[in-house]
Structure 1
Amino acid sequence: MFFASDNAGPAHPKVIEAVMRANDGYAMPYGAEDAMARVRGKLRDLLGMPNAAIYLVATGTATNALMLATMCKPFQTIFCSEVAHIEEDECGAPEFFTSGAKLTLVDAPQAKMTAEHLREAIDSTADGVVHGVQRGPVSITTVTERGTVYTLDEQKALVNVAREYGLPVHLDGARFANAVASLGCTAADMAQGFDAISFGATKNGCMGVEAAVFADPAHAWEFELRRKRGGHLFSKHRFLSAQMEAYLDGDLWLEMAQSANAACARLVAGLRNIKTVTLANDSEANMIYLTFPRAAHRRLKDAGAQFYSMGTMDGPDDEPVLARIVCDWSATAENADRFLRILEG
């Protein structure tokens, strides 16, 4: 019953096998291996971006921060949700790699920015005035940090607002696959309109690889320099390419995301029938925020369940305590059902 994080799940056997095959013999370093050329072609086709510049980085934080640094000057601001991953979970990396660009936080009902709130945030900046930060890129996180997913229309509305102001748009897609699986759309549909995309794989069954995708190849050289200067250019790059190639082959990326989302949906359906449980918001992919009594938190953990309790275990048994549950590709129906039985008591 491991529902603490999709980061904690195992790598898929096909990914491990691909890494082992890549270890046979010699290959050119730093992304010059044949596999990287194949990965680049596959991602261009998948995302519907025939001219995209595509690079691999080992972590999501580095991918987001290096991409935003390429798109944003130090005296500009990045517009993002008040609960965006770049705000909550990256330890100031975007500010560090951009040499000090500010994050402007946008109101986000259900953890999603709206076009109206984004416009208000952009209008509130003192663009053109030397005393204030200037307008920079818009960054969208989906799946959001609360488990909700932007619809394609919601994404399009945000992109359109950014375009009105001449601002580039970045997609933080650490859970890109889960969002595609949730919406039932294509990867190209999801990518539509974005200038830069972080195409995540680590959370969804890889060992450690993310793709940085720029629609405009004019960004390529600066990103390459920033990746090298930031210490994120792998010498034995073939092991990144091997993971990503296996991830893309036969739509393994989508199969794993669908599995994770299905386990989460099974949990949500069961949770709705437990009177002591309150879902904090919509759960549309592979993450759930919910409250239930402290006694049930203790009972689950005593039984070996792994999940995040967002509060102390000291206090009244019947007091509701917030929890976060995340399903990865390997989550089983059996473990979901067992979790529900123990929770219900």
Structure 2
Amino acid sequence: MYFASDNSGPVHPQVLDALARANDGYQMAYGADTLMNDVRDKIRGLFEAPGAAVYLVATGTAANSLALATLSEPWQTIFCSPMAHIHEDECNAPEFYSGAKLTLVPGGEKMTPQALRQAIAGEETRGVHGPQRGPVSITQVTERGTVYSLDELRALCTVAKGYNLPVHLDGARFTNALVALDCTPAEMTWKAGVDAVSFGGTKNGLMGVEAVVFFDESKAWEFELRRKRGAHLFSKHRYLSAQMEAYLSDDLWLTSARQANANCARLTEGLRAAGASFLHEPQANMIFASFPRGVHKALHQAGAVYHLWGATLEGEDDEEMLACRLVCDWAISNEQIDAFLALF
């Protein structure tokens, strides 16, 4: 009954098999391995972007930070939600790698076009003394488990383009959002106005690899330099390539995300039936729910693993509603989900 994070689940067996195959013999280093050619072609194909620049790094923080550094200048500011992953969970890495600051667009887990326009208009108002306008970064799936619709993405990109600003999509859970929207990668990125995407795999069954895709190929060399200077160019790069190649073969990236979302839907249905309330409507593979302290105690005693949200088990009132975060990955079984729900 492990719902702490989709980072905590196992690596998919097909990925482990691919790593074992990649371990045979010798390959050129630093991304010159033959597998990377296949990965590049596959990602360009699925994004319908034959000219896209495609790179691999080992962590989502590196993907986001290096992409945003490439899209910005040190005197600029990056616009994002107060609940964006780059603000809440990356220890100022985007600022470290870019030299730029973050401007938090007022609102909830999602930015609105109106709030974004107001935030952008509020910068470049102090001449040389203030930050200049820089990229817009959107987290998809959001840190509260919700998903921007294609219309919402297009509307935000339209605002950014009105100020000639690039747009970055933090897609750590890219495929969970994609299957929730039942759209194509192109529709959720460059067709909506996105310039660069962090295409995540680690949360969806990979050991540790993320792709960075630039739809403007002119950014390619700068990213390569920043990746090397930032210590994120792997010498034995073939082990990154092998993971991503397996991920993109036989639709593993899609089937894993569909399974994670289906697991979350099963858990959501059971929680509703048990009388839980939701802080945000679940749309992908992450739930924020409230139920009584007494139930939380029973779950923890039975070995369930998940995070309470702004709450603690300590307290005498077992009827007090406590919030928690529950995340489903591709590997959690129906039996584990049902055992969790049986304790309500």
Query: Could you tell me which residue of structure 2 aligns to residue 201 of structure 1?
Result: 201
Listed as ranges, the gaps of 5+ residues in structure 1 are none
Query: Could you tell me which residue of structure 1 aligns to residue 285 of structure 2?
Result: 286
Query: Could you tell me which residue of structure 2 aligns to residue 6 of structure 1?
Result: 6
CA distance in 1, matches of 2:278, 2:267: 11
Q: Structure 1 127/221 Cα, relative in aligned 2: closer, same or farther at 3 Å? A: farther
Q: How does 1:230-241 map to 2 (within 5 A)?
A: 230-241=230-241
Query: Could you tell me which residue of structure 2 aligns to residue 336 of structure 1?
Result: 337
Q: How does 1:138-153 map to 2 (within 5 A)?
A: 138-153=136-151
Query: Could you tell me which residue of structure 2 aligns to residue 302 of structure 1?
Result: 301
Query: Could you tell me which residue of structure 1 aligns to residue 72 of structure 2?
Result: 72
Shift of 1:140: 0.3
Q: Structure 1 28/163 Cα, relative in aligned 2: closer, same or farther at 3 Å? A: same
CA distance in 1, matches of 2:7, 2:278: 23
Equivalent residue for 2:173, pick from 157, 172, 175: 175
Shift of 1:126: 2.7
Report the TM-score when normalising by structure 1. Answer: 0.97
Shift of 1:107: 2.5
AA aligned opposite 1:160? T
AA aligned opposite 2:295? A
Say which is worse superposed, 237-246 or 326-335, in terms of deviation.
326-335
CA distance in 2, matches of 1:196, 1:122: 19
CA distance in 1, matches of 2:14, 2:307: 29
Q: Structure 1 242/131 Cα, relative in aligned 2: closer, same or farther at 3 Å? A: same
AA aligned opposite 2:298? R
CA distance in 2, matches of 1:216, 1:8: 34
Query: Could you tell me which residue of structure 2 aligns to residue 250 of structure 1?
Result: 250
Equivalent residue for 2:112, pick from 111, 114, 131: 114
CA distance in 2, matches of 1:108, 1:263: 29
- 2:328 paired with 1:327: yes
Query: Could you tell me which residue of structure 1 aligns to residue 102 of structure 2?
Result: 103
* Count of aligned pairs between the two proteins: 340
Shift of 1:127: 4.6
CA distance in 2, matches of 1:184, 1:128: 44
AA aligned opposite 1:335? Q
CA distance in 2, matches of 1:210, 1:108: 28
CA distance in 1, matches of 2:42, 2:201: 14
Say which is worse superposed, 166-175 or 297-306, in terms of deviation.
297-306
Say which is worse superposed, 316-325 or 54-63, in terms of deviation.
316-325
Secondary structure of 1:253's counterpart equals helix
AA aligned opposite 1:334? E
Shift of 1:266: 0.8
Shift of 1:120: 1.0
AA aligned opposite 1:143? V
CA distance in 1, matches of 2:9, 2:42: 25
CA distance in 1, matches of 2:303, 2:313: 16
Shift of 1:337: 1.6
Report the TM-score when normalising by structure 2. Answer: 0.97
1:293 and 1:318 in contact (8 A); partners too: yes
CA distance in 2, matches of 1:287, 1:35: 33
1:55 and 1:212 in contact (8 A); partners too: yes
CA distance in 2, matches of 1:72, 1:127: 18
AA aligned opposite 2:233? L
4+ aligned runs moved over 6 Å, structure 1: none
1:127 and 1:135 in contact (8 A); partners too: no
AA aligned opposite 2:337? A
Secondary structure of 2:65's counterpart equals helix
Q: How does 1:5-24 map to 2 (within 5 A)?
A: 5-24=5-24
Deviations along 1:37-69, whole A, 9 cap, x unmatched? 110000001011110111000000011000101
